[in-house]
Amino acid sequence: MIALVALICVVGVGVFVSGRALGRWAFVVAAVPLAVTFAWLLTRAGAAFDGRVRTEHVDWVPRLGLGLDLRLDGFSWLMAMLVSGIGVLVCCYSTAYFAGRREGLGRNAGLILLFAAAMLVLVLADNLLVVYAGWELTTVTSYLLIGNDHQKLYARAAALHALLVTSLGGLVMLAGFVLIGQAAGTYRLSEILAAPPSGTSVTVGVALVLVGACSKSAQYPFHSWLPGAMAAPTPVSAYLAFASIGFWRPVLLSVGLFTMIAGGLRALRQHDLKLLLAFGTVSQLGFLIVLFGVGTPEATAAGCVMLVAHAAFKASLFMSVGTIDRLTGTRDLRKIPRLGPAWRPFVALTVASAASMAGLPLLLGFIGKEAAYATLDEATFGGAGWALAGLVVGSALTVAYGCRFVWGAFRGGARLDGAISDARECLPAPPIGHLLPLATLTVVSVVLGVAPGLLDRVVGAANASMYAAPHSPHLQLWHGVNLPLVLSVVAVAVGVLVFVGRDRLAPLLATGARLPSGTAVYLQLLRGTNAVATRVTAVTQSGSLPIYAGVTLLTAAAVPGVVLAANASWPGLPDFAESPGQIAVCAVLLAAAVATATVRRRFSAALFLGTAGYAMAGLFVVQGAPDLALTQVAIETLSTVLFVLVLRRLPSRFERTSSTPRRVLRVVVSVLVGVTVFAFAIVSRAARETVPVSTEMIERSYPDGHGKNVVNVILVDFRGFDTMGEITVLAAAATGAVALARAGRRSRRPTEGTS
């Protein structure tokens, strides 16, 4: 499994880099690792059906107990099959969709592969932190895919919207994972499920995980990013729509029902076929949330059936929209021209997928919805009846917007005027590359709809991986006349009536427009955040170096100083001085420091600053550290020379711009910092419990570093890389300063023609 994920990533990076040379073949190359993954998963079908689990582990951070843990059981096998299978079809479809284009094909193909790899990590992960890593990788790759056409403002805004909503949800989920993992004593998902922890922290953790899951699965009020994701190319939208049905645990039924109904109402008001399907996806995700949220084996089995059905019909429908847009030049159902006879195979495939979404017989969507109705009909928990009624209402809306999709795409379009009345005859028939992926997905829906028993072992294995007493489903096309069948008929009939009477029901359908708009809330929050950031920046980024330095120093002194004052055990003060030489040198040092801060001339300040440095070197000599004194003298000499060279180009005097209170405040801050540093030095000197590292450095300086100057050996040997980094930083800063100075001089030079 790890090897397959690595293969997909390597090929994805390769395709990304060499996309210009590969052209449309980039998608063919991208399909290969996904097809290999799909084929390998097929060889593991028997093991998955028999309940045999395959695990793989690679140490990541062993000391933290963190590793790349992947687990292939019945449910993850089903999810991985969908990831790889849909991915292959998307790549094949993209080969035809991007015909005639060369720009950005490698980027598209590479990002689709990286997205697939992230999805595989997510669905196969057996470690909560790996789940989060996969989750965030899907967020980042989704951002790049949605914003693929980066020259369009709408695409960039939609990508940012998706990134902010899902990444913030991911951070909330991470907090929940940490709480659950700490309570369980392990982050291994299989171990947590085998012995679930309990307690308040676990309850809070589960709530946080559910919030994060709702953000990624586009549940209200986090739904608004998914319609915006339709700014991505259509093949990407098809994959994103499937990927949203990833990994979740029981959530509140009310969230799912509200999302299902509200998404359906909004879908009915869309004129863009892609947006119609986007809000339909939001609605269908709410349906899935309801089924998995029930938390029983029977409901989960129904959810798995609907999961497969949703992946098939929704990916197929998005591809259909892509074909219409590509060949007619519009997705607006009010402008799509009538399609000629050459489009009949395409129309038949699209109508079949829409019928599966609506839950019509002989299709997989019908099997899934009947299983859902039967589950809630037999459920005994409180509110099951209301949940069942909500599903029927949501399903009726699904039928209605499914009819709107089909009618708008194939019958309700614009009538061509006489000047171009024969244009429909000129529309080229959809290429075989467009039809094959649609045909494959439609065949899956039809075959599994007519012979649903083929899914028994698949759904049973997925169920067995999640429940100690799993439900063994026996899916059938005909169960006789029962309540689920009646509810299916009612949902279809009501949905058709809603579509037929959509003009009369317009005021009622407008309710969807009055529902809280996630996009509006997001935009308000974004504007508010920017406004607050502007105000905060105006205060904190004043452009004053003294303010920056003062705030930094005050924070560095006050925060640890309070902790020190509250917790430190104060030792006795050391002797004031050990020799008259110390007193004399310190007096010079203090006088030079005061003079540096008070003189008006820059050159004098530089000299006094150098004097303070030389006085410090003298203190090192008095203390018996000549090596350190030599290093200090060298540094001060170089610094003074540089100061003098720079000061030649600056005014000779400092400008007195600050008021007396500000100068007093600076003195207070300086004294506070000095006292805090002195206090830390005293406390840390007395708190030492181990031998200082300097002892070992002194002992090893000559034998290992071959130098008698301990300071030099430390700088160039023991900490050579640190010194190299410091030199690099100083060189870069000096280069930048010189460049800015020269640019400033050039900008002041008069140009030709000026007087």
Question: How high is the pLDDT of residue 492?
Answer: 92
pLDDT tens digits, one per residue of 729-746: 888 888 887 787 677 565
* Token representation of residue 530: 């920017």
- Residues 615 and 631 sit within 8 Å (Cβ to Cβ): no
Quick one: which of 484, 464, 284 has its CA closest to 367? Answer: 484
Distance (Å, rounded) from C-alpha 262 to C-alpha 283?
7
Distance (Å, rounded) from C-alpha 268 to C-alpha 511?
11
Quick one: which of 224, 146, 210 has its CA closest to 179? Answer: 210
* Token representation of residue 500: 């037929």
Ramachandran angles phi, psi of 360, nearest 5°: -85, 150
Per DSSP, the residues of 591-614 read: HHHHHHHH-SBHHHHHHHHHHHHH
Q: How many CB atoms sit inside 10 A of residue 544's CB?
A: 12
Rg, C-alpha atoms of the chain: 35
Question: How high is the pLDDT of residue 439?
Answer: 92
Distance (Å, rounded) from C-alpha 14 to C-alpha 28?
13
Element holding 94 (H helix, E strand): helix 74-97
- Residue 57: helix, strand or coil by DSSP? strand
Q: Give every residue of the chain whose pLDDT is below 70, as ranges.
A: 64-65, 100, 102, 148-151, 154, 217-252, 412-426, 468-471, 508-518, 567-575, 656-658, 686-687, 741, 744-755
- Residues 75 and 41 sit within 8 Å (Cβ to Cβ): no
Q: Is 340 exposed, middle or buried (0-12, 13-18, 19+ CB in 10 A)?
A: middle
Eight-state DSSP code of residue 272? B
Question: How high is the pLDDT of residue 754?
Answer: 43
**Using omega within 30 degrees of 0 as the cis cutoff, is the peptide bond preceding 580 cis?**
no
Reported pTM: 0.72
Contacts of range 625-628, beta carbons closer than 8 Å, 24 or more positions apart: 627/708, 627/709, 627/710, 627/711, 627/712, 628/710, 628/711
Residue the block writes with tokens 């429908």: 317
Burial call 693-711: b when 16+ CB within 10 Å, e when fewer:
eeeebeeebeeebeeebbb
Quick one: which of 272, 291, 281 has its CA closest to 242? Answer: 281
- Residues 307 and 263 sit within 8 Å (Cβ to Cβ): no
Eight-state DSSP code of residue 708? S
Distance (Å, rounded) from C-alpha 683 to C-alpha 324?
76
Per DSSP, the residues of 433-494 read: HHHHHHHHHHHHHHHHHH-GGGGHHHHHHHHHTT-SS-------S---S-HHHHHHHHHHHH
Question: How high is the pLDDT of residue 605?
Answer: 84
Question: How high is the pLDDT of residue 419?
Answer: 36
- Residues 241 and 281 sit within 8 Å (Cβ to Cβ): yes
Q: Is 11 exposed, middle or buried (0-12, 13-18, 19+ CB in 10 A)?
A: buried
Query: Any residues with CB less than 8 A from the CB of 582 and at least 6 apart, and which?
Result: 619, 622, 623
Question: How high is the pLDDT of residue 230?
Answer: 40
Distance (Å, rounded) from C-alpha 72 to C-alpha 412?
47
Residue the block writes with tokens 């049905």: 245
Which residues are 125's β-sheet partners? Answer: 70
Angle at 342 between CA 339 and CA 345, to 5 degrees: 95
Torsion of CA 237, 238, 241, 244, to 10 degrees: -100
Angle at 79 between CA 75 and CA 84, to 5 degrees: 145
Quick one: which of 309, 277, 307, 279 has its CA closest to 441? Answer: 309
- Residues 89 and 441 sit within 8 Å (Cβ to Cβ): yes
